[in-house]
């Protein structure tokens, strides 16, 4: 909850890509990665990139976007990766109003950081690559940059778990998408929910195409390794 509050605080200014508020969110996430004791990739937590944004016919350069990435090394298969991702950008300030994006998607980033804290203390067999994507709201730019410049070979990524808007609702319902295309994930999801106070609802996969996980999975499909084994 502390991470949700920090990321949706007024000084984050809604975390719109290319704004000072977004940079403060980058610094906050990198500081958390360091504090948790995660490993940087290629010497840094930031994967910087730029993109062009068109607003009402005007093209604008967004030069200082960044994905934040960190690793927990696997105990058995260090060169196989499960990606746990969440986008951290949001809509910024519109009409003088700060769109804080507590649910979309401070909640997902906080859940990712909570997972990172737990897995740092309990490393799994395969490596875990935590990725906070930038510019999801600008057409999944962060995820597109990630697959164009992958920090690890894409065919070594076995699964992508993307967290988005996990804070909504007061009935402990989680929407899960992707089990239609990847049925092997279904029993894993069901096992995880069993005996807990959450209800899992499966969503049709068309909502998946709006997710960074879809971008990575699509890039990964030719290798035939998108399905975990
Ligand atoms: Zn979102």
| pLDDT over threshold 80, residue 33 | yes
| CA of 89 relative to ligand 1 center, distance in Å | 8
Hey, is 96 helix, strand or coil?
coil
Instruction: Tell which wins on pLDDT, 24 or 139.
Output: 24
Instruction: Tell which wins on pLDDT, 65 or 183.
Output: 65
| CA of 87 relative to ligand 1 center, distance in Å | 7
CA 72, CA 126: separation in Å to the nearest integer? 9
Instruction: Tell which wins on pLDDT, 54 or 5.
Output: 5
- Mean pLDDT is lowest, of 22-31, 59-68, 156-165, 193-202, for 193-202
Number of C-alpha atoms within 13 angstroms, CB side, residue 51? 23
| CA of 75 relative to ligand 1 center, distance in Å | 32
Residue 113's pLDDT is what?
Answer: 98
| CA of 107 relative to ligand 1 center, distance in Å | 10
| CA of 72 relative to ligand 1 center, distance in Å | 24
Residue 97's pLDDT is what?
Answer: 93
pLDDT averaged over the chain?
Answer: 88
Sequence spans of domains, the chain: 2-165
Residue 223's pLDDT is what?
Answer: 36
| CA of 215 relative to ligand 1 center, distance in Å | 14
Q: Measured between alpha carbons, how far is residue 191 from residues 186, 188, 200 in Å?
A: 9, 5, 11
| CA of 103 relative to ligand 1 center, distance in Å | 8
Please choose, from the candidates 190, 185, 69, 82, the residue with its C-alpha nearest in 3D space to the C-alpha of residue 133. 69
Task: Using a CB cutoff of 5 Å, list residues around ligand 1, an ion.
Answer: 104-105, 164
Please choose, from the candidates 85, 111, 89, the residue with its C-alpha nearest in 3D space to the C-alpha of residue 101. 89
| pLDDT over threshold 50, residue 222 | no
| CA of 165 relative to ligand 1 center, distance in Å | 6
Phi/psi at 17 (nearest 5 deg)?
-55, 135
H runs (alpha helix) in the chain: 2-7, 20-36, 108-121, 141-148, 186-193, 212-220
Sign of the alpha-carbon torsion through 137, 138, 140, 145: negative
| CA of 112 relative to ligand 1 center, distance in Å | 14
pLDDT tens track for 144-193: 999 999 999 999 999 899 999 888 777 888 888 888 888 888 888 888 88
CA 198, CA 189: separation in Å to the nearest integer? 11
Please choose, from the candidates 112, 168, 97, 165, the residue with its C-alpha nearest in 3D space to the C-alpha of residue 137. 165
Note the Cα 13 to chain centre separation in Å.
20
Please choose, from the candidates 160, 158, 82, the residue with its C-alpha nearest in 3D space to the C-alpha of residue 123. 82
Stated pTM of the model:
0.90
Assigned CATH for 2-165: 3.40.630.10
| CA of 104 relative to ligand 1 center, distance in Å | 5
pLDDT tens track for 6-28: 999 999 999 999 999 999 999 99
CA 229, CA 139: separation in Å to the nearest integer? 31
pLDDT range class, residue 77, cuts 50, 70, 90: very high
């Amino acid at each position: 909850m502390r991470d949700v509050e920090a990321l949706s605080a007024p000084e984050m200014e809604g975390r719109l890509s290319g704004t000072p508020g977004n940079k403060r969110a980058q610094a906050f996430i990198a500081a958390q990665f360091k504090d948790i004791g995660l490993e940087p990739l290629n010497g840094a937590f930031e994967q910087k990139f730029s993109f062009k944004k068109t607003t009402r016919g005007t093209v604008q350069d967004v030069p200082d976007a960044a994905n934040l990435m960190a690793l927990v090394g696997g105990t058995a298969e260090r060169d196989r990766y499960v990606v746990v991702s969440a986008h951290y950008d949001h809509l910024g300030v519109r009409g003088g109003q700060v769109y804080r994006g507590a649910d979309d998607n401070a909640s997902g980033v906080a859940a990712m950081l909570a997972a990172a804290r737990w897995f740092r203390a309990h490393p799994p067999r395969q490596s875990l690559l935590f990725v906070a994507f930038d510019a999801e709201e600008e057409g999944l730019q962060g995820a597109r940059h990630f697959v164009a410049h992958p920090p690890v070979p894409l065919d070594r990524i076995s699964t992508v778990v993307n967290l988005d808007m996990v804070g909504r609702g007061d009935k402990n319902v989680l929407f899960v998408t992707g089990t239609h295309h990847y049925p092997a994930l279904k029993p894993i999801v069901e096992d995880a929910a069993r005996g807990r106070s959450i209800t899992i609802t499966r969503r049709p996969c068309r909502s998946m195409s709006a997710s960074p996980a879809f971008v990575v999975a699509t890039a990964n499909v030719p290798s035939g390794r998108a399905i975990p084994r």
